[in-house]
Amino acid sequence: MALSAAACGDTTESGDTSSGTAGKPVTVQAANGAVTIPATPKRIVSLSPTHTETLFAIGAGKQVVAVDEYSTFPAGAPKTKLSGFKPNAEAIIGYKPDLVVLSDDLDGIVKALTKVKIPVLLEPSVTKLDEAYDEITDLGQATGREADAKKLVDGMRASIQQTVAAAATKPQPASGKPAGKQLTYYHELDNQLHSVTSKTFIGQVYGLFGLRNVADKAEKASGGYPQLSREYLLKSNPDLIFLADTKCCGQNEAAVAKRSGWQDLTAVKDKRVIPLDDDIASRWGPRLPEFVKVIGAAVQKASAGA
């Protein structure tokens, strides 16, 4: 759930695999250092739902032989019982991978796989949009799909920029006073009121629209993911409520309205409770523009007073 660690995205090539020279090695600068992939991989194992989506989006899906249990998209991905949270080196090795992609180095899995000479790309959770783009580029170069990765990144950039521009607020008047009230929001991770602050990747996505996060004052030692109290949230009275717990916890506008005291919140009264796809809202891969579009539509509607 948490999106915290920084990503490393610089790459150097020892050969251009995207032009058909599949026999030449490529070296990628990942979070676990310089990783050399001897040839275009044909048996990839992905232990990250985000990276699974990316691999298929750049056309490397046919090279993927196994993905972790939480890689729910695309539907055709070869989902297994492999876990990115409790990785089992023996089980992974059983798929005879020539490349393993993951976002967390837990239980010494990178060292264990490297020891048996399996190339491992550690591409961790990102904190900035550019880091997300860098990781897609890394996977493109590692799989011989560099041109496809560039096309994907360019498309994501253009879509996000277009959405943000369409929802842009009016410029401030010459007096320096704001043209209108700055909209506030609450992003719900679960029905226990865990949220995100502006320091997180999710928070920065909302920041593209100039929204003010009501959870920021509750940051403290939460690492960007505070648990808010009912009293705190009711007092904050956000203009917009985004629910990223529709799948995990069955939350929706009707369920929120039934919570004690919540019927008086501005977002509830003005019908500004926005359900999200939990998976899309928690991943930093190819479907990120879809998340941005939902936010943009909500901002436009709220700004118009609808």
pLDDT for 23 equals: 61
Confidence of residue 223 (pLDDT cuts 50, 70, 90): confident
Query: Taking phi first (over 0 means left), then psi (-120 to 50 degrees means alpha), and beta for anything else, what does residue 193 get?
Result: left
Confidence of residue 306 (pLDDT cuts 50, 70, 90): low
Confidence of residue 220 (pLDDT cuts 50, 70, 90): confident
Mean pLDDT value across the chain: 90
pLDDT for 168 equals: 84
* Segment 230-272, tens digit of pLDDT: 999 999 999 999 999 999 999 999 999 999 999 999 999 999 9
Token code pair at residue 189: 């991770």
pLDDT for 24 equals: 85
pLDDT for 92 equals: 98
The least confident of 17-21, 88-92, 156-160 is 17-21
The least confident of 83-97, 115-129, 216-230 is 216-230
* Segment 115-125, tens digit of pLDDT: 999 999 999 99
Confidence of residue 174 (pLDDT cuts 50, 70, 90): very low
pLDDT for 89 equals: 98
Which whole-number Å values give the CA distances from 122 to 3, 70, 192, 270, in the listed order?
A: 14, 17, 31, 44
Token code pair at residue 263: 């019927």
- Pairing between strand 184-188 and 240-243? parallel
* Segment 7-59, tens digit of pLDDT: 344 444 433 334 333 568 999 999 999 999 999 999 999 999 999 999 999 99
pLDDT for 8 equals: 42
Which whole-number Å values give the CA distances from 111 to 40, 102, 178, 231, 259, in the listed order?
A: 22, 13, 53, 46, 48
pLDDT for 180 equals: 57
Q: Judge whether residue 169 has pLDDT over 70.
A: no
Q: Judge whether residue 107 has pLDDT over 50.
A: yes
* Segment 137-155, tens digit of pLDDT: 999 999 999 999 999 999 9
Q: Judge whether residue 167 has pLDDT over 60.
A: yes
pLDDT, mean of residues 90-106: 98
Full set of structural domains in the chain with CATH = 11-157 (3.40.50.1980), 184-303 (3.40.50.1980)
pLDDT for 5 equals: 34
pLDDT for 219 equals: 77
